[in-house]
Structure 1
């Protein structure tokens, strides 16, 4: 009987996520629900059930863990958008998919708004290299969104692709911030309506 229990325990350990995955999962849960700066390293270690030495070995610092958390969110965001636009034929549909991803996500995360907006808000005046890299990671996500929107507008032969991409970013930012403040989808749905009117208007 002791051997049977040992085998099951060994299998459980083998199937357990790696310390890196546990740290990222724990950080994501805490940063998303409570914020970044308020969460200390010890709280993350307890959530992930990982030794402090492992965190420093894998990431070097809490700030580097924050960067990895944002990079993971960026990867997930791109994958969600790619999955939603799979099979769509028109650039207009693909543009509106950015709003649809947010509309689908916000109720699931309790209307906490944009992870990227929230992270930028916690580092308004970055002072260290790692804090500046946190802001740069947020900026790279936004650059991808803007470049993708602009590319779709160019595909649509929009004569003011950059201007309209800027307008769509304002709609998206405002919709996310409004949904967080209101605790419902109305601001995002309004933002989507504005985006629809813009992209289906005459060139």
Structure 2
């Protein structure tokens, strides 16, 4: 009697399973796996994310192609078809870091209408970033320092990509200074960018934000005393 009931239960279970398979339903684990595969970033994005993480935490020159490919789970052929070379990938990573930095600066400045507050946002961003980045310093300074005397066109492009970020910071500061004071302020922008460079380098060495806070205070003093130094 018990065997008969058990057999009936087994047949019903089998019938339900067969019905699910016939209707196209799959076990939950398979569905979840498929969803993860569908939401997975494409090869280009995975390469950029892996390379950026490795370059910024360990350095550019010490990271080989094979390490990036393993981390990104991408075939070598895909890397060369998408970027052409490791150096091109480095340039792309630096450009993406620059775009992200500019975007975050714009977001920080959304509620800062005064030009002087927008200038100080450069320092505020660095103060916020350094502890989160384990005091590694500026990714752009670090990249440029790995190629102090570039020998190839690719190395020149890597260095130029890093310097482009610094040029944008300086030019943006200059425009904001002109907006504040009503006259061209390239020299003041040069001083401010030196404050920022020095603050970042000092924080990297001391592993504290104190040098950046000092740099911010120097920038603030300059912003409020500069009109006394010039005849408008």
CA–CA distance in structure 1, aligned partners of residues 193 and 182 of structure 2: 16
5+ residue gaps in structure 1?
A: none
1:119 and 2:143 are equivalent in the alignment: yes
CA shift at 1:46, angstroms? 1.1
CA–CA distance in structure 2, aligned partners of residues 42 and 202 of structure 1: 52
Out of 99, 104, 117, the residue aligned to residue 93 of structure 1 is 117
* Structure 1 segments (4+ residues) deviating >2 Å: 1-10
**TM-score scaled by length of structure 1:** 0.96
**TM-score scaled by length of structure 2:** 0.84
Written as runs of structure 1 = structure 2, the 5 A alignment for 1:40-51 is: 40-51=64-75
CA–CA distance in structure 1, aligned partners of residues 77 and 226 of structure 2: 59
Tell me which residue corresponds to 1:200: 224
CA–CA distance in structure 2, aligned partners of residues 189 and 49 of structure 1: 41
Tell me which residue corresponds to 1:33: 57
CA–CA distance in structure 2, aligned partners of residues 111 and 67 of structure 1: 23
Secondary structure of the 1:201 match is helix
1:135 and 2:150 are equivalent in the alignment: no
CA shift at 1:44, angstroms? 0.7
Say which one has the larger Rg: 2
5+ residue gaps in structure 2?
A: 1-16, 228-232
CA–CA distance in structure 2, aligned partners of residues 174 and 158 of structure 1: 27
